[in-house]
Structure 1
Amino acid sequence: MKLLFVASEAVPLVKTGGLADVAGSLPKALRDRGAEVRVMIPKYASIPQSVIERMETVATFTVGVGWRTQYCGLKKAEVEGIIYYFIDNEFYFKRGDGIYGYGDDAERFVFFSLAVLESLIYMDYRPELLHCHDWQTGLIPFLLKTRYQHDPACRDIATVYTIHNMKYQGVFGIELLMDLLGAGGELFGSDGLEFYGAGSCMKGALLYADKLTTVSPTYAREIQTDSYGERLDGLLRYRSADLSGIVNGIDTESFDPMADPALEFPYRNSLTRKRKNKLALQRELGLPESAETPLIGVVSRLVDQKGFYLVEAVLESLAEEDMQLVVLGSGDPHYEYVFRNATERWPDKVKVWLGFNDALARRIYAGSDMYLMPSSFEPCGLSQLIALRYRSVPIVRETGGLKDTVLAYNENTGEGNGFSFAHYNADDMLYTVRRALDCYRDEHVWETIVANGGKSDCSWDQSARAYMSVYAGLLSKRKESITWPVIS
């Protein structure tokens, strides 16, 4: 089984979100299950210099972007046992600050999509299946079926497309996309890229990819509804037989509290050693040191989607509880102000670190007793999985992957690895936090909940098995559909 992952980011090379974790970690899990997997991403300036120095050139060629002809270099290097290919064009990808958010993002990722397909002619590897991720690669399944279907290098290649977040669809003006693709209106009908007067890159993949996946079973159901489908729910219902939800995993070697260099006190299941990390975190952030005081951690983008509207609404009530709250993140200036102000008002209760610090994030997972994640929607979520791995008990809203991975504690049966609430409501969230605090004060109950969380399988193993099943079923059908010529 020869697979080529195509994504706009991948750990450990470049990361802005959970997409990078999937594109970088899942291939290793698939390799361990017998697949041959390679990955293709843009060659960004932010890729570590040690990797850039090891890259070898596979080919150089040109790519037509509208009326323009652009240089493209195809490079490769092995990273952590996986061969990566890099699409090289400094005009598009040698940018200083970040990898998204530029005025020419449409042109940059149209070029990337075209370059991926053109590179198949020159590659020293013949994939049977392209696995594309998010809007930045959404045009690839579309172009494969509409422009490259007769190209010998592209013919008979199957495609799988993974939706990581329906809110980000790569929607641009029709005239702009026509210009970049060098196409006329034939590509923009109801069975093309047209999307309410504009053009959607994601819609192209939803129409033309052979199989669709998203990052949790619950999110797969949610996006087929008006509330979560972002105006593509009808198309997703139409393709429901080809859509499956597979929960993400995490790299359990990287996220291992027993071997994490960011932690002062390695541990596995020992609450005593975990609480030593809490004391160290309190000391580091200037909070009163107390092993008994429950500490709630948050590592997140500070945006509405992550539920900070709810947190802000009950912050005064939370501050009245016997607890501490530590927040690491950045985002909406309003929420940054809210937490800065809270730190000033309750310096012994609330601490915020604006920005991102990977080592501190790991110390928050290790030092927190509970991890708060009250998202309005959450396709999968990785933070609750990391929290479980570090024996921090998640408090979540029942949506998307949070519902699939966090089971509310049941006092009658002793089952459950966290706490959850169904309605996006600040009072429900506050009630759930208080319930968790009550359970924390009963050492026997708390040990049971933490132990349940320790049994959660946060690895990629089950997810890789599910993806292998999708690939195998698709490739089997593709081979059956090929009509071989009769030689007399």
Structure 2
Amino acid sequence: MNILMIGSECTPFIKTGGLADVLGSLPQALQAEGEEVRIVLPKYENISDDWKGQMYHLDELTVQMGWRNQYAGVEYIEYNGVPVYFIDNEYYFKRSNLYGYDDEAERFVFFNRAVMEMVRKLDWKPDILHCHDWQTGLIPVFLHTHYREDPAFEDMKTVFTIHNLKYQGIFASSVLHDLMDLDERMMTPDGLEFFGDINFMKGALNFVDHITTVSETYANEIQTPYYGENLDGVLRSKSDRLSGIVNGIDDKAYNPMADDSIAFPYRSSLLKKCQNKMWLQERLELPVRKDVPMIGIVSRLVEQKGFDLVARIIDEILSTEDIQLVILGTGEYDYEQMFQWAQSKYPTKLSANIMFSEPLSRQVYAASDMFLMPSRFEPCGIGQLIALRYLAAPIVRETGGLVDTVKPFHEKTGEGNGFTFTNYNAHDMLFTLRRAIEFYHDKDTWKKLIKNITKSQFPWKYSARRYVEVYQSTFE
């Protein structure tokens, strides 16, 4: 099949989160399964000049935006065998950030319409338009409205992937006519109406042929009021065409045996991993000790990631346990300050790196014995997958993709690849941390756990095969 991936970001061109990693890796895995895949993105100002210099100007489009027409250029590049198109319009995309502007609705209405016009003119016809998150949610809507009778789109199917239901693209109802050229018939529960506003993601859910999200557990969770963000009713009504497919990671890009960022390459050697820990301890000015368990955190410092739980127990665990805690990330001011305060109080036990550095993130994964990820909710999560790849035992809350990828270790059966807790409770997390620390000091038990971790990897090829099954189901 011919598959066109449509998204708002993609590695290595532009990234703010996990969506970019998916679009950067899944297309190559699908091509390895025999599908032909292409990608289309906005051409942002923040894309490096190195990439822009390689782009070829392919076409120019006229995009109707309500009562006016707008220009769209189409640029082209090929990356690792995957053709990538960029929609160019400096008024909408020549800005310092990807998101967060007052005209966000207009920017992404334009992008969606421009993609449809590009598809109409291409000499390559997709069988599947695979849309990712709210920024592409109008593609299925437009396919069933403005382009319904257009022969260029005959028999074309759509798939929509929810990466995080919390972000839906909710805007004033005036957008419906002013920008989309749609009438009041879309202001219904079966259209885009959402508490008097319009909702891009709801439009996609109502008109798409199949919905996917990024783990099986999250697919079930979002059909409940607690996780459903006021769309649980819509999702329950579409449950027969809703699938959860856990994300993979690029096992070539994340490979401790060939990672230039880390000091001592390794495959399964705990000795080499310990050398990475001692190297990082020296760099971060922590006491250089091979016997102390290091717990890593690489994350956005936001409430979703469970840092309110960490805040409640950080003083208790650092004052009572012989550990080192290494933090890397930025986010909400209160959490940044909390970690900096803890570092000032426990300078030999905590290193707070309030920044983001890709090389340092790899060094933290390689050095850490454990990796803490106590999320309130987590559609899939990539941190725990990278941690497993670098032989750091994940400590996670049982939610979303964390449930699907981390299985609790049982000392009697020897099964499991990490440590989990069920309730969103700080002292449940503290108990689980202490249990992990206790097992770390039992070297025979820890070796069993590491052996399990080496067997629980998540390359993209398995997920790609599930996506192929979804694509095929849309034609049945």
- Give the alignment's TM-score, normalised by structure 1: 0.96
Question: Does the residue aligned with 1:314 lie in a helix, a strand or coil?
Answer: helix
In the other structure, the counterpart of 1:418 is: 418
Give the distance between the partners of 2:383 and 2:33, measured in 1 at CA: 25
Question: Does the residue aligned with 2:144 lie in a helix, a strand or coil?
Answer: helix
Shift of 1:19: 0.5
In the other structure, the counterpart of 1:210 is: 209
Tell me the number of residue pairs that the alignment of Structure 1 and Structure 2 aligns. Answer: 475
Give the distance between the partners of 2:102 and 2:317, measured in 1 at CA: 41
Give the distance between the partners of 1:29 and 1:173, measured in 2 at CA: 39
1:254 and 2:261 correspond: no
Counting only pairs closer than 5 Å after superposition, residues 38-77 of structure 1 correspond to structure 2 as 38-77=38-77
Shift of 1:182: 2.3
Q: Residue type matched to 1:132 in 2?
A: C
CA deviations over 1:81-109 (Å, ceiling 9, x no partner) = 2100111101111112x211111111110
CA contact (8 A) 1:417 1:453 kept: yes
In the other structure, the counterpart of 1:350 is: 350
Shift of 1:25: 0.3
CA deviations over 1:143-192 (Å, ceiling 9, x no partner) = 11122111122222100000000100000111134311123212211211
1:288 and 2:287 correspond: yes
Shift of 1:49: 1.9
Give the distance between the partners of 1:103 and 1:283, measured in 2 at CA: 46
Q: Residue type matched to 1:275 in 2?
A: C
Shift of 1:72: 0.3
CA deviations over 1:423-464 (Å, ceiling 9, x no partner) = 000010000000000000000111111110110121001101
In the other structure, the counterpart of 1:230 is: 229
Q: Residue type matched to 1:95 in 2?
A: R
Give the distance between the partners of 1:194 and 1:314, measured in 2 at CA: 43
Shift of 1:67: 2.1
Give the distance between the partners of 2:414 and 2:468, measured in 1 at CA: 34
In the other structure, the counterpart of 1:90 is: 90
Give the distance between the partners of 1:466 and 1:120, measured in 2 at CA: 25
Give the distance between the partners of 2:5 and 2:13, measured in 1 at CA: 14
In the other structure, the counterpart of 2:9 is: 9
Counting only pairs closer than 5 Å after superposition, residues 442-457 of structure 1 correspond to structure 2 as 442-457=442-457
CA contact (8 A) 2:176 2:183 kept: no
1:369 and 2:377 correspond: no
Give the distance between the partners of 1:353 and 1:458, measured in 2 at CA: 28
Shift of 1:473: 2.1
CA contact (8 A) 1:59 1:122 kept: no
Give the distance between the partners of 1:164 and 1:151, measured in 2 at CA: 30
Q: Residue type matched to 1:48 in 2?
A: S
Q: Residue type matched to 2:48 in 1?
A: P
In the other structure, the counterpart of 1:485 is: none
Question: Does the residue aligned with 2:282 lie in a helix, a strand or coil?
Answer: helix
In the other structure, the counterpart of 2:394 is: 394
In the other structure, the counterpart of 1:103 is: 102
In the other structure, the counterpart of 1:309 is: 308
CA contact (8 A) 1:296 1:324 kept: yes
In the other structure, the counterpart of 2:130 is: 131
In the other structure, the counterpart of 1:196 is: 195
CA deviations over 1:399-432 (Å, ceiling 9, x no partner) = 0000000000011100000000000000100000
Give the distance between the partners of 1:313 and 1:43, measured in 2 at CA: 43
Question: Does the residue aligned with 2:70 lie in a helix, a strand or coil?
Answer: strand
Give the distance between the partners of 2:270 and 2:431, measured in 1 at CA: 25
Give the distance between the partners of 1:216 and 1:464, measured in 2 at CA: 13
1:268 and 2:296 correspond: no
CA contact (8 A) 1:58 1:122 kept: no
Give the distance between the partners of 2:336 and 2:176, measured in 1 at CA: 36
Shift of 1:112: 0.3
In the other structure, the counterpart of 1:441 is: 441
Unaligned runs of 5+ in 1: 478-488
Question: Does the residue aligned with 2:267 lie in a helix, a strand or coil?
Answer: coil
Question: Does the residue aligned with 1:371 lie in a helix, a strand or coil?
Answer: strand
CA deviations over 1:28-56 (Å, ceiling 9, x no partner) = 00000100000000111222322212222
CA deviations over 1:246-303 (Å, ceiling 9, x no partner) = 0000000000000000011000100000010001111111111101100000000000
Q: Residue type matched to 1:113 in 2?
A: N
Give the distance between the partners of 1:176 and 1:122, measured in 2 at CA: 26
In the other structure, the counterpart of 1:482 is: none
CA contact (8 A) 2:75 2:85 kept: yes
Give the distance between the partners of 1:359 and 1:191, measured in 2 at CA: 47
Larger mean CA deviation between 140-149 and 302-311 belongs to 140-149
Q: Residue type matched to 1:261 in 2?
A: D
Counting only pairs closer than 5 Å after superposition, residues 18-33 of structure 1 correspond to structure 2 as 18-33=18-33
Shift of 1:318: 1.4
Give the distance between the partners of 2:76 and 2:348, measured in 1 at CA: 51
Give the distance between the partners of 2:152 and 2:13, measured in 1 at CA: 28
CA deviations over 1:453-483 (Å, ceiling 9, x no partner) = 11012100110111111112223x2xxxxxx
In the other structure, the counterpart of 1:480 is: none
Give the distance between the partners of 1:62 and 1:441, measured in 2 at CA: 65
Identity of aligned residues (%): 53
Give the distance between the partners of 2:369 and 2:296, measured in 1 at CA: 8
Q: Residue type matched to 2:463 in 1?
A: S
CA contact (8 A) 1:58 1:123 kept: no
Give the distance between the partners of 1:68 and 1:294, measured in 2 at CA: 62
CA contact (8 A) 1:117 1:154 kept: no
Q: Residue type matched to 1:231 in 2?
A: N
Q: Residue type matched to 2:281 in 1?
A: Q
Unaligned runs of 5+ in 2: none
CA contact (8 A) 1:26 1:464 kept: yes
In the other structure, the counterpart of 1:483 is: none
In the other structure, the counterpart of 1:155 is: 154
Give the distance between the partners of 1:67 and 1:369, measured in 2 at CA: 59
Give the distance between the partners of 2:245 and 2:182, measured in 1 at CA: 35
Shift of 1:304: 0.3
Question: Does the residue aligned with 1:325 lie in a helix, a strand or coil?
Answer: strand
In the other structure, the counterpart of 1:339 is: 339
